[in-house]
């Protein structure tokens, strides 16, 4: 099977490619510790992931990540002996990137549950880049509300500060809290990350690179702090359909809440709401995907490609 994420042309690919059946075989004897009910609880709205998908895709991924964490710990111990240090191991950071509506949040939550159930019972925390969006007030003042989700709508300085503190092994590092109901940062509310063994950092732009400064000055990329990175991939036409389907489900549910930022859409007809969803996708999210998100795909250590049914049909793993 030729995976859609394989590069065209004669140039050798930096990835090894596996179809879903091949990838499933790598789980070996890794135990399945999740139940169907837990998978239903963890999956995002309109994401049809089930226990078979977890067994076939995510158990192998969990086993791969375990080997990377073990290797990082071994290297850390060797370095401590070499330098005669007694430092404490800092968190292993996993970055998860991909388009809106592609299933990043489900992947992040499933992985978190699987990783916490390893025999060593590591402490695993999860943070999304939504927490580092500028507030709506700031976005409005800078005429960026229609660019929400684009790189300039995030407080990059605060993201880098947060990740540098995590990688330095600092205690009780705070991050803002974002509400999807009010579509904004919640004032004066924070979530505290206190020296996890593993941190999952999920967001559409986590593999984004900055314009390099002149005169030899250095500016770190967010991904410089990652020990392993994952890109969730799918054809744009499939993501569009998933986005519109999710919007229409929210239109019938969450948007009915008078406190919802999108409550005004609940007053439109179903046909008009669908038209609005398509416009938002084509005018904002598709542009962001093509200009900022998709170009970062080849920076990931692992690519999970989803087919039309939202299930992973191909895995690309970067060669060592």
Instruction: Give the separation between CA 173 and CA 161, rounded to whole angstroms.
Output: 10
What pLDDT score does 220 carry?
81
| Residue whose pair of structure tokens reads 């890794």 in the numeric block | 30
Instruction: Compute the CA torsion angle 317, 197, 128, 295 (nearest 10 deg).
Output: -20
What pLDDT score does 1 carry?
46
Q: Is residue 121 left, alpha or beta, with left meaning phi > 0 and alpha meaning psi from -120 to 50?
A: left
What pLDDT score does 86 carry?
83
Ranges of the chain whose pLDDT falls below 70: 1-10, 211-218
What pLDDT score does 61 carry?
97
| Helix boundaries (H) for the chain | 20-24, 36-42, 51-53, 59-83, 104-116, 136-141, 156-167, 236-252, 270-280, 286-288
What pLDDT score does 261 carry?
95
Backbone angles phi, psi at 86, to 5 degrees: -130, 40
Listed in sequence order, the residues at least 6 apart from 122 whose beta carbon sits closer than 8 Å to its beta carbon are 69, 115, 116, 196, 197, 198
Domain range list for the chain? 15-318
Tell me yes or no: is domain 15-318 CATH 3.40.50.300: yes
Q: What is the pTM of this model?
A: 0.94
């Amino acid at each position: 099977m030729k995976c859609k994420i394989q590069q065209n042309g004669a140039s050798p690919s930096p990835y090894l490619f596996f179809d879903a059946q091949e990838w499933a075989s790598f789980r070996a004897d890794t135990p399945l510790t999740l139940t169907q009910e837990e998978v239903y609880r963890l999956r995002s709205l309109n994401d049809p992931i089930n226990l078979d998908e977890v067994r076939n895709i995510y158990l192998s991924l969990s086993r791969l990540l375990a080997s990377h964490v073990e290797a990082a710990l071994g290297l850390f111990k060797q370095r401590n002996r070499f330098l005669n240090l007694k430092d404490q191991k800092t968190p292993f950071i996993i970055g998860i990137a991909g388009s809106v509506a592609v299933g990043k949040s489900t992947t992040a939550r499933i992985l978190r549950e699987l990783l916490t159930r390893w025999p060593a019972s590591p402490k695993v925390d999860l943070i999304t880049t939504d927490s580092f969006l500028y507030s709506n007030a700031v976005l409005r003042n800078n005429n960026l509300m229609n660019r929400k989700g684009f790189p300039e709508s995030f407080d990059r300085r605060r993201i880098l500060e947060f990740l540098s503190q995590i990688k330095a092994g600092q205690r009780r590092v705070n991050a803002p809290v974002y509400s999807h109901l009010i579509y904004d940062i919640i004032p004066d509310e924070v979530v505290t990350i206190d020296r996890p063994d593993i941190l999952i950092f999920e967001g559409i732009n986590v593999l984004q690179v900055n314009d390099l400064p002149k005169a030899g000055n250095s500016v770190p990329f967010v991904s410089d702090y990652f020990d392993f990175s994952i890109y969730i991939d799918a054809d744009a036409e499939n993501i569009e359909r998933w986005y519109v389907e999710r919007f229409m489900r929210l239109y019938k549910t969450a948007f009915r809440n008078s406190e919802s930022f999108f409550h005004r859409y609940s007053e439109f007809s179903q046909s008009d709401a669908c038209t609005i969803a398509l416009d938002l996708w084509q005018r904002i999210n598709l542009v962001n995907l093509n200009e900022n998100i998709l170009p970062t795909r080849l920076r990931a250590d692992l690519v999970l490609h989803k087919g039309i049914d939202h299930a992973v049909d191909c895995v690309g793993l970067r060669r060592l």
